């Protein structure tokens, strides 16, 4: 793996830096919640930023030009993501641009591409991910939401949970069981569901970080046209693995985590501890920074494999596993640095970094759950990476 940019890639990196320096509004930075930063379109200025990006084809720069992207190479896409993260540029509509769109490009038919991709690029259509269920989180393939074929339609009944952005979404990437007699991985289908369809009800869930982005979604005889079936019936699990690989490769950004550590170091320099614990905290901060470099290196490994035409499967899980557990260590270290002031929330005049430490700590709890638990990632690494038998 070569960490050096080619001449062409170095020029592209400088182009992205120059663009962000001149075109990114100073007051339009990504939320501090970068540990699980999945934009769902709550900021009314998101569309303005997407319009700015679209002038260069950078809303989805790795998409083929034929589908509205810039047709960038894998490494250029990685460079773009890296510089966006370093500049704290917002990534609105990530679930649509980063997950739904690429999955449709890989597995959708031309009618589906024509129907959905332009709305994703414009920011008109936001998507959510209807995978997890109350009894099917880590063991996702055990999902029980049913889709029964009725003529040219499917009728959906069941429930989804932890559905980020469902309260805002226009479409859902939905997994439902279409053949209960097949083994659990083989009887699932993948639908591109219109969230305005009658029979869908949404109940918001506020997580422990007071972020109202999660939802429960209920389906009561929801009629879905056959044209919204992605690929072949009963092969949805294999299409879902494409979505999950995109998610695991990008849900935790090593560069974004490094920003958190850098901000923590800056706070520590301004407000050094005087309780005798400072020496240990200094070493801990150094360890966290080194670990962010490791996280970035793991991301480079994934990008390098993709650039060579390889499919990073266990490598994506390694990157996600290390990054999500690192996010929790960083949050814990931040609270140590801030001391009692780190427990104060936004709005308190004494809150450390305006309450960001407290916010990081609470949101980081979910980092080892979103995108597949640490146990699931270790299972993927063991089975697909080390060829170990199922336990």
* Rounded distance between C-alpha atoms, residue 149 and residue 188, angstroms: 13
Q: What is the DSSP string of 143-158?
A: ---EEEEETTEEEEEE
Q: With beta carbons less than 8 A apart as the criterion, state whether 353 and 339 touch.
A: no
* Rounded distance between C-alpha atoms, residue 224 and residue 191, angstroms: 8
Find all residues with CB under 8 Å of 199, minimum gap 6, and list them. 156, 219, 220, 221, 222, 223
Catalytically annotated residue among 83, 133, 247, 315: 247
Find all residues with CB under 8 Å of 121, minimum gap 6, and list them. 50, 54, 59, 60, 68, 97, 101
Q: What is the DSSP string of 193-245?
A: EETTSTTEEEEEE--TT--TTEEEEEEEEEEEEGGGEESSTTBHHHHHHHHHH
- According to DSSP, the β-strands at 171-177 and 200-205 are unpaired
Catalytic residue check, 247: yes
List the catalytic residues. Answer: 247
């Amino acid at each position: 793996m070569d960490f050096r940019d080619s001449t062409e890639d170095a020029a592209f990196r400088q182009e992205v830096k120059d663009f962000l320096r001149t075109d990114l509004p100073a007051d339009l930075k990504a939320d501090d919640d970068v540990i699980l930063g999945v934009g769902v379109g709550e900021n009314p200025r998101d569309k303005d930023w997407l319009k700015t990006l679209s002038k260069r084809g950078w809303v989805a720069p790795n998409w083929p030009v034929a589908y509205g992207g810039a047709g960038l190479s894998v490494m250029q896409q990685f460079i773009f993501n890296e510089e966006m993260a370093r500049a704290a540029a917002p990534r609105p509509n990530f679930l649509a641009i980063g997950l739904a769109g690429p999955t449709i490009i890989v597995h959708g038919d031309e009618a589906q591409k024509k129907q959905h991709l332009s709305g994703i690029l414009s920011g008109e259509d936001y998507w959510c991910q209807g995978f997890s269920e109350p009894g099917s989180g880590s063991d996702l393939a055990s999902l029980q939401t049913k889709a029964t074929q009725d003529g040219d339609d499917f009728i959906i009944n069941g429930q989804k949970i932890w559905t980020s952005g469902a309260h805002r979404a226009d479409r859902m990437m939905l997994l439902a069981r279409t053949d209960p007699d097949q083994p659990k991985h083989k009887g699932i289908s993948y639908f591109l569901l219109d969230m305005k369809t009658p029979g869908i009800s949404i109940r918001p869930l506020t997580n422990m970080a007071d972020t109202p982005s999660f939802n429960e979604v209920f389906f009561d005889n929801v009629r879905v046209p056959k044209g919204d079936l992605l690929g072949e019936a009963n092969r949805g699990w294999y299409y879902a693995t494409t979505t999950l690989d995109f998610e695991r490769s990008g849900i935790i950004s090593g560069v974004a985590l490094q920003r958190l550590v850098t901000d923590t170091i800056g706070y520590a320099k301004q407000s050094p501890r005087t309780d005798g614990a400072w020496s240990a905290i200094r070493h801990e901060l150094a360890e966290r920074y080194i670990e962010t470099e490791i996280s970035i290196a793991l991301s480079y490994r994934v990008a390098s494999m993709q650039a060579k035409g390889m499919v990073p499967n266990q490598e994506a899980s390694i990157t996600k596993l290390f990054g999500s557990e690192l996010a929790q260590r960083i949050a814990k270290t931040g609270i140590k640095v801030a001391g009692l002031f780190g427990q104060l929330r936004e709005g308190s005049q004494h809150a450390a970094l305006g309450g960001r430490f407290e916010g990081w700590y609470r949101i980081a709890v979910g980092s080892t759950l979103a995108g597949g638990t640490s146990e699931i990632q270790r299972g993927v690494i063991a089975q697909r990476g080390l060829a170990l038998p199922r336990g």
